[in-house]
Structures are given as structure tokens and as C-alpha cells.
Amino acid sequence: MNPLHQEIDQYRQDLRFTTQIKQTRLEFITTWGLFSPRALDEGSRLLLENIKLEKQDKCLDVGCGYGPLGLYLAKHSENNIHMVDKDFVAVEYTHKNVELNHLKNCTTYLSNGFNQIKDNDFNLIVSNLPAKVGNELLSLYILDAYQHLQPNGRFYVVTITGMRKFIQRMFNDIFGNYKKVKQGKTYTVAMGQKI
């Protein structure tokens, strides 16, 4: 076999890594084509290190990728965690990672944003918002999150820092409030609360 073919063929193999967030250890199986397949991305880490989570929170991870946000929440919640993504490969790998981490309180399914989410009683919604989807889709995400939260429910997002002013304006317009939780060099974690 051609050495280049052999090298490229290796890309078909699943990738594996382990990460530590605070005292929580998570294992992941990923693949090329998913966001940040070789390591937990810096934005997700910043969000998870700064989120306030109650054991009773009913949580939703929108745009879950292979599951890092939702799996962390599942390790710390007594409630069921919903994890959704529009990419069937992401949902498939989230299923694998739920099993790999021996979690029983996770529900994963396909959803384009919030369009397949029937529950409107979440206490906590999280998302690592993609930077290149356009302001229209980001506005829909923020409005839909508001509509799927219980009163006092929180929506945590992490975005590239360059988007923070837009996110602040949209949270203030839709939630009536905005809290900058943590700003790093590249990413900003923000939260809106349904009053």
C-alpha cells in the first residue's frame, strides 16, 4: 500500500483523550470532522470552570458536539441531561461518550437548534455558540433558550470575545439582563437569567 494512503487511512480511526475539569475526569472518543476532536477546546473549559450548577438542575446542552458540556453536567446533576446537535455524527459520538463515562442520566438526540426540544422546564441551558453561523441564528438560539427555561432558569454561553457586545445586547433585549461571568483572552462566558 502507498505510504500516503496508509497515513491517510489512519484518519478513519477514532481519536481518544481524557481531560480533567476541576476534580472531574472525563474520557472521550471523537473523530475528524467534529469540533476540537483531539482535546477539550479552551472555550468549553472556560465555561465549565465558571458555571454554577445545582444538583437538581434539569439541563440542556444545545449544539453538544461529542458531549463535553453535557457530560460534565451529567456528572454533577441528579436530573436528566438533554444533549442535542444538528449533526448526526456528533449525536452518535455523544452516545458513545455517555456509555464510555458510564452515565445513566443523559438523553441525546438530533435537533436543529431547539426545533426538536419539547420540554420547556429547564433550569440550566448551556451552549458553546459557533462564531460563524450569523447573527440571525444566534438571535434565535437566545430567544429559544429563554422560552425553554423555567422562571429563574439560566442560559450560559461561551463565545469568541469578539462577539461579546452582540451577545450582551441580545441577552439584555431578550432576558432583560446580562452577566459577564468570565472573559479570557479569546473567549467570554456570559449568562442570562429568566426573571
Domain count of the fold of the chain? 1
Range 76-99 average pLDDT:
97
| Predicted confidence (pLDDT) per residue in 30-67, tens digit | 999 999 999 999 999 999 999 999 999 999 999 999 99
CATH of the domain at 117: 3.40.50.150
Does the pLDDT of residue 89 top 80, yes or no?
yes
| Predicted confidence (pLDDT) per residue in 70-83, tens digit | 999 999 999 999 99
Which domain covers residue 19, as residue numbers?
3-193
User: How is 49-112 classified by DSSP, letter by letter?
Assistant: HH----TT--EEEES-TTSHHHHHHHHH-SS-EEEEES-HHHHHHHHHHHHHTT-SSEEEEE-S
Which residue type does 105 have?
N
pTM for this entry: 0.95
